[in-house]
């Protein structure tokens, strides 16, 4: 498949930039969609997922589509935009790809669409968050569930990649997980959240899984791309190891965290330009054990994730190198 041309969205994002690197390492020619500017060292085209019909010309000549772009936000003001881009934009992009003659697509979803673990059983691709134990979903994760339906219904054969929580270098915005790493490393985390759990995966392995999905994935199939199921207390211990900061001794009671989230939600509604400090949607998910079983991706794609501790150390080193961290944070 070397030299085949791929149309990539989201190359300026955390996961998308790593996917670009993985595609090029595998020998693909890549054309990146950007809203403005360009991607260093890559061929780019300017466009908007809210106007997918305008992308048909750029898609012509591309054999494959890898769709990583999405609006990821907990801010109330962004909820309409989240659906417009993540759901309607995805459906329109896939139809534009069909018109342009694209043979195959890979669409980045989220493992949150399978929901949390059921009792002692980690979630699998057979699960759906809507049919879980009444777990509230964020607007972003709800949009990902709707995006999956659009991709499965598209006339272009699409493979769905469902990453868990990627960690590693290059999370420049940063994402909510990246912000947690930065805050912990800078000594701004004074208490642990409620004792939930999540699955962390090195971002480089998520990127390689996109290439594997393109080459080996079954059309209209979901693949959870995970790493390690970890209790949040274990995540704090790993962060303490790689940053040299102590684990907070005090735990925030869930009712207190929920109250803080509700107050912050009201603040953001009254001040539309405000950014959530205690996202209500994130608080509601924090008590869940978002554990998954990614056996399908390992068996069918050859997904082999590396150690999460090393990925966290690479993230901390990258943040230090790019000026996000205070000088007191030691090298892992």
Residue 331 domain-assigned (yes or no): no
Question: Mutual orientation of helices 90-100 and 139-153 as an angle, nearest 10°?
Answer: 30
User: Is residue 298 within 8 Å of 283, Cβ to Cβ?
Assistant: no
Sign of CA dihedral 312, 245, 199, 115: negative
Residue 326 domain-assigned (yes or no): no
Count Cβ atoms within 10 A of the Cβ of residue 68 and give its class: 0-12 exposed, 13-18 middle, 19 or more buried.
buried
Residue 223 domain-assigned (yes or no): yes
The predicted pLDDT at position 135 comes to 57
DSSP for 229-285, written as a single string: EEEHHHHHHHHHHHH-PPPPSEE--HHHHHHHHHHHHHHHHHSTTPPPSS-HHHHHH
The predicted pLDDT at position 332 comes to 44
Residue 124 domain-assigned (yes or no): yes
Token pair in block for residue 119: 């009792």
Residue 201 domain-assigned (yes or no): yes
Number of helices (H), then strands (E), belonging to the chain: the values are 12, 13
The predicted pLDDT at position 70 comes to 95
The predicted pLDDT at position 141 comes to 87
Q: Which residues of the chain have pLDDT under 70?
A: 1-2, 130-136, 281, 326-332
Domains of the chain: total? 1
DSSP for 176-198, written as a single string: HHHHHHHHHHTT---EE--S-EE
Q: What is the CATH number of the domain that holds 26?
A: 3.40.50.720
Residue-wise pLDDT for 167-224, tens only, equals 999 999 998 889 889 999 999 888 877 778 999 999 999 999 999 999 999 999 999 9
Domain assignment of residue 97, given as a range: 5-321
In total, the chain counts a number of residues equal to 332
β-partners of residue 290 are 198
Sign of CA dihedral 205, 299, 163, 221: positive
Residue 254 domain-assigned (yes or no): yes
User: Is residue 182 within 8 Å of 325, Cβ to Cβ?
Assistant: yes
Residue 332 domain-assigned (yes or no): no
Residue 329 domain-assigned (yes or no): no
User: Is residue 23 within 8 Å of 6, Cβ to Cβ?
Assistant: yes
The predicted pLDDT at position 331 comes to 46
């Amino acid at each position: 498949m070397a030299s085949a041309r791929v149309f990539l969205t989201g190359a300026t994002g955390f996961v998308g930039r790593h996917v670009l690197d993985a595609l090029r390492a595998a020998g693909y020619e890549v054309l990146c969609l950007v809203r403005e500017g360009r991607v260093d060292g890559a061929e780019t085209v300017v466009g908007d997922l809210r106007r997918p019909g305008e992308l048909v010309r750029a898609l012509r000549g591309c054999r494959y589509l890898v769709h990583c772009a999405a609006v990821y936000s907990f801010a109330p003001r962004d909820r309409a935009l989240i659906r417009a881009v993540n759901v309607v934009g995805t459906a329109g992009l896939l139809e534009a790809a069909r018109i342009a003659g694209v043979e195959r697509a890979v669409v980045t979803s989220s493992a949150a669409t399978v929901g949390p673990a059921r009792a002692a059983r980690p979630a699998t691709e057979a699960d759906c968050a809507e049919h879980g134990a009444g777990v509230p979903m964020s607007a972003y994760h709800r949009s990902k569930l709707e995006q999956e339906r659009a991709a499965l219904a598209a006339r272009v054969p699409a493979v769905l990649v469902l990453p868990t929580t990627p960690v590693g270098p290059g999370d420049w915005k940063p994402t909510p997980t990246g912000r947690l790493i930065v805050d912990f490393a800078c000594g701004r985390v004074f208490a642990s959240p409620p004792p939930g759990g999540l699955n962390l995966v090195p971002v480089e392995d998520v990127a390689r899984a996109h290439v594997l999905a393109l080459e080996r994935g079954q059309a209209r199939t979901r693949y959870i791309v995970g790493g390690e199921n970890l209790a949040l207390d274990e995540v704090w211990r790993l962060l303490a190891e790689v940053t040299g900061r102590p684990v907070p001794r005090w735990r925030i009671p869930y009712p207190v965290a929920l109250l803080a989230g509700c107050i912050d939600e009201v603040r953001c509604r009254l001040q539309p330009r405000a950014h959530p400090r205690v996202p209500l949607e994130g608080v509601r998910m924090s008590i869940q054990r978002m554990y998954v079983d990614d056996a399908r991706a390992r068996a069918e794609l050859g997904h082999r994730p590396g150690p999460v501790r090393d990925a966290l150390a690479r993230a901390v080193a990258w943040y230090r190198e790019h000026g996000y961290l205070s000088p007191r944070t030691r090298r892992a």
